[in-house]
Chains A and B, each alone.
Chain A
Amino acid sequence: MTSAYEPWNEARGAEIIAEHDKLEGATLVILHALQEAFGYVPEPAIPMIAAALSLSRAEVHGVFTFYHDFRHEPAGRHVLKLCRAEACQAAGGDALAARAEAKLGIALGHTTADARVTLEPIYCLGLCATAPSAMLDGRVVGRLNEARIDALVAEAQR
């Protein structure tokens, strides 16, 4: 997926910030927009947001680091998120998560050395009646079993 993102560019970053800085409470909106464009929130964007919103750099940094979603560096080409919350645990999600970790050779929260796959936990996709569930690059998959998780991992590795 990383290839679909633009490389960081200050002018483009400023343009994105300017698109949203008149909104009420714009910080999260801007952080989301930057991440959508660049795949993560580049560090130089933080003081730019602060200047645009008349906030301190510390305040923006505080918001950026509070939320799990915002990335400090680019993710792997594919992001595989495994739901690790109770409903998926009840449906056998623990074993499937361990299986995905073993297949990829990384723990949840990490990216493979070839930067192909980032494996992440997610706390509830709301697909609790078709558990266990996962999301691969925004595509949701439910009723996971060993065969399906293997297929998902293989797809992510391609």
Chain B
Amino acid sequence: MMRIFVSRDAGAVAVGADEVALALTQAAGQRGIAIEIVRTGSRGLYWLEPLVEIATPNGRIAFGPVATADVSSLLDAMAADGPHALRLGVTDEIPWLKRQTRLTFARCGVIDPRSVADYCAHDGYKGLARALTLTSDAILADVTASGLRGRGGAGFPTGIKWKTVAQSSADRKYIVCNADEGDSGTFADRMIMEGDPLVVIEGMTIAGIAVGATSGYIYIRSEYPHAVATMNAAIQAARSCGYLGARIGGSAYSFDLEVRVGAGAYVCGEETSLLESLEGRRGIVRAKPPLPAHKGLFGRPTVINNVLSFAAIPFILAGGAKAYTDYGMGRSRGTMPIQLAGNIRHGGLFETAFGVTLGELIDDIGGGTASGRPVRAVQVGGPLGAYFPRALFDTPFDYEAFAARDGLIGHGGIVVFDDSVDMAKQARFAMEFCAVESCGKCTPCRIGSTRGVETIDKIRRGERVGENIAVVEDLCNTMKFGSLCALGGFTPYPVLSALKHFKEDFGPVPARLQAAE
């Protein structure tokens, strides 16, 4: 029996993984070869998807990117353990994978994401097992000691957030997972939900035990139907194995989860807007205070964290708080799953300790652009992140280092653009996106973004360029300091960074085209 692994991750399916899996089954049937195909998550080496792996006594051997036309010769090579043009060797030895420090993504792409047995066979539920032997205070101490900061973008210390909820008294408390990963260039939440959903469930369960909550919600965006399906299947599996529901793992604790699906509003990634949406309302941002930790979902104390924050918890609780905090730099401890996207040769998920430089990530790990043209700009941290030119490629991946250069790491997504990019157009897009997605509650965001689009249009038409650039800068200043949440408050990052680093693009179109030549 040959055990073959093919990803069911949406990114792999989008480039033909389902067809490859089907072709493998058919080809094996025709030859009378017994095979078992395990549908895993993705290893995150997307330029090699569809990636096909086979279990051997020396570890899994990878082949990729596999097309259905390759399947016949692939089966021969796998059966004979022989050479093949797509053979990549032992998967774990592929340099791109080997260079990583996979703590959160250790199992992603390795296990069957819907199998509790597979999860447990790969160190799953060890964190929960230890948490069940600890007091609430001891769990909180571990999370605090790990130095984990919220991976959604704001970087708030997770331990402090949990402690606030633990110390609040209420008839009910909630654990909410923010899986509204709307930032372009980010897909780590999607990958872990499709590749290792039980680690998120385990993290949320530990949170429930630590703060005294018995129910939780995972709010997943509707653009992620594959993640919704896998997460629901994993919840069912955890429930049937006694890891969700009453008396978890035979303990006195109860905890259960439900998936809720968003409806295409980007602003619902903002935590208070998400809570409104979960309550069945328009996703209008709430003023803070009160903090969700005091008055969150349905007015109850609520832990609301990003998918990756919860996913980091099991490793930490399994005894890894010290190990986790040993990684990283400054106040950014542990590892960050960095996502390389856009016009990039080797795009995918690269989990590594904080401190790696932007240049290493783009040129060395990412291999430059897919188009082969020079890299001109990279946007880090999603639609609200700054555009950095090559001159800033020495910036280390660290919350404070990016902030010092008027940028942010956000959720860890990096989108690469080559020299054909028009940065005035990108700045306009940032304003337009904000205008469309604004919840409308505060004026700087709602009106400022619309005025921003109009003013950038004037600049692009060559109307009083200098004066209108001053207007855009002034608008950005108002939005940055006057908006209620990060949507209006951070839209200035891409706009101002484009203006600052790529000023030659802001003017009448013909001038820009000449400048590009």
Give A residues with C-beta under 8 Å from B: 24-29, 31-32, 53, 59, 62-63, 66-70, 85-92, 122-131, 133, 138, 140-143
Contact = CB atoms under 8 A, between A and B. Distances in A.
Contacts of A31: 263
Contact of B347 (A59, A126, A129): A129
A68 B11 contact: no
B340 A124 contact: no
Q: Which of the listed residues A28, A69, A90, A140 has the most CB atoms from chain B within 10 Å of its own CB?
A: A90
B344 interface: yes
B224 A126 contact: yes
Contacts of B225: 138
Contacts, number: 153
A107 B413 CA distance: 30
A91 B348 contact: no
Nearest to B282: A66
Interface residues on B, range: 35 or more
A63 B263 CA distance: 10
B14 A32 contact: no
A24 B298 contact: yes
Given A87-B341, A87-B415, A123-B433, A128 B223 contact: no
A89 B222 contact: no
A99 to B, nearest CB: 17
A78 to B, nearest CB: 16
Given A25-B279, A126-B224, A86 B415 contact: yes
Given A63-B281, A69-B222, A138-B225, A129 B46 contact: yes
Contacts of B448: none
Contacts of A70: 263
Given A63-B282, A66-B283, A90-B416, 12 more contacts: A26-B280, A28-B280, A29-B280, A69-B262, A86-B383, A87-B185, A90-B421, A125-B223, A129-B47, A130-B14, A130-B347, A131-B341
Interface string B279-314: 111110000000000000010000000000000000
Contacts of B184: 85-88, 123-124, 128
Given A32-B263, A91-B370, A127-B14, A63 B339 contact: no
Interface in B321-369: 339-344, 347-349
B260 A129 contact: no
A25 B182 CA distance: 22
B90 to A, nearest CB: 23
A63 B224 CA distance: 21
* Closest 9 A/B residue pairs (Cβ): A129-B347, A85-B184, A90-B342, A142-B14, A27-B280, A128-B341, A67-B263, A68-B264, A25-B280
